[in-house]
Structure 1
């Protein structure tokens, strides 16, 4: 299969915009055939307007789930995601707001249940990253924003969702290859992903008695709007052939992660909890 070449580019806005990615990302392959694995289910996906979150949401819809999408303020991207979900014959609820706000997280959960009737799958995926090559250059504001978005939001949202999640429900967290190998340009981001690893493992043990599974996916370099306003803004040339350092010699597409979210969301993974699925182009991390 031919994969598109990534060229040098940047975006000045954080979070980045899916519509400005060149080349556009792929979210779901035409060859992916849904088989009703999530029929009658409802999923809530943070950061579901673009990137990996949108891929998860669209795959869920093709498998028969209705989907609520949380996002900050990328309204056009969110509308595009909604159209993709509705094209699969499923309902989509858009929930703009700041994941760092505990009250927003609680309200998003309540709106999801009120509008779509229930909650079966929670995907904690929203995230931010900024490049700093020296620890001394990470400001208090950057450090706090990164933690508030990448781990506090996971906690707020999961806490709010638990009162609605019943036996058989699934929580899926998005971590990163960076927490397993380290990234010298993304110290604060990498630290939050390590926190997500611990959150996933500890919570999985706590919720086993409720028959709620908690797992995580650790992406490698994936072509999403997270990259141009962080790596690209620091140095647009960093995105030239993005992901070429991986054993497969390229970055991944969101479409290559969506099926893993389906697996962890559906009954195929009923004997799996506290685990990490690494989707990173062949990098062995042993974690």
Structure 2
């Protein structure tokens, strides 16, 4: 584990949802229909934001959930409570997805606890705004790539021996991959890598019956931006430039992750869905 770049402490990332006001909306909007009945899902960054909303929706649809998160223990326990309230099992595992050894240990624990892994959601990510490329430190550059894209490689490598035909991998990319983000150069670059990774991994695994897709959210109200991932002045108008005119909520994104994980999307692989408030990105 000594090769892992230390987490950056220049801000409060990833941030506690319990301290965020107004609270993001994670609640599923409709009754479950058993679309993930009997499945086991690993969700990284599941303690808050989009990850929590996906965990809640997957649990409502019948899946047991492994909640991987960095260090927000109170948020992770709340997500576990939500999953259990839906009548499903929850397992919380704290650690850094940028650490290959952690990913291997976490996946092994999930497999031994639940005896199977059907869905891997690579959602964990970090971002640090910089107005000038020369302000991006080497540590920040390496750290952002380590979390956002290396972590996905490590998680897939660890989970691959457990994934059988019918399994699904869903990666979280971003609208910044398509539209660019002048103050998020390193972050948007990782999101471009994630999209390419998704398409290439799909080609690599589809022959074994494993589908790989991605979701590219627009501006979504989660702890990522308010706790250091965006400049304070931008938060005042966060999401207002979308055609819908407001930021999205996590429970408006989670259904895209559900669709790509269940049999409703059985003829889709290598694709990206765009819950982004109406922005046309042609990707």
TM-score class, shorter-chain normalisation, is: over 0.9
CA contact (8 A) 1:218 1:280 kept: yes
2:47 to 26, 45, 49: 49
CA contact (8 A) 1:231 1:239 kept: no
Which secondary structure state, in structure 2, belongs to the residue aligned with residue 153 of structure 1? helix
- Partner Cα separation in structure 1 for residue 256 and residue 13 of structure 2: 27
What is the CA-CA distance between 1:155 and the residue it aligns to? Answer: 0.2
- Partner Cα separation in structure 1 for residue 27 and residue 167 of structure 2: 24
Give unpaired runs (5+ residues) of structure 1.
1-10
- Partner Cα separation in structure 1 for residue 115 and residue 63 of structure 2: 12
The residue that corresponds to 1:65 in the other structure is: 63
TM score, norm. by length of structure 2: 0.95
The residue that corresponds to 1:216 in the other structure is: 214
Give unpaired runs (5+ residues) of structure 2.
1-9
Which secondary structure state, in structure 1, belongs to the residue aligned with residue 195 of structure 2? helix
The residue that corresponds to 2:5 in the other structure is: none
What is the CA-CA distance between 1:246 and the residue it aligns to? Answer: 0.3
The residue that corresponds to 1:226 in the other structure is: 224
User: 2:269 matched to 1:273?
Assistant: yes
The residue that corresponds to 1:8 in the other structure is: none
Count of aligned pairs: 274
CA contact (8 A) 2:104 2:155 kept: yes
Deviations 1:16-36 (A, max 9, x none): 11111110000024x411000
CA contact (8 A) 2:13 2:229 kept: no
- Partner Cα separation in structure 2 for residue 117 and residue 257 of structure 1: 29
- Partner Cα separation in structure 2 for residue 16 and residue 170 of structure 1: 28
What is the CA-CA distance between 1:237 and the residue it aligns to? Answer: 2.5
The residue that corresponds to 2:3 in the other structure is: none
Deviations 1:72-122 (A, max 9, x none): 000000011000000000000001001111010011111111111210000
What is the CA-CA distance between 1:283 and the residue it aligns to? Answer: 0.2
The residue that corresponds to 1:153 in the other structure is: 151
Q: RMSD in angstroms over aligned alpha carbons?
A: 1.1
Deviations 1:153-199 (A, max 9, x none): 00000011010000000000000000001000000000000000110
CA contact (8 A) 1:28 1:258 kept: no
The residue that corresponds to 1:102 in the other structure is: 100
User: 2:252 matched to 1:256?
Assistant: yes
The residue that corresponds to 1:14 in the other structure is: 13
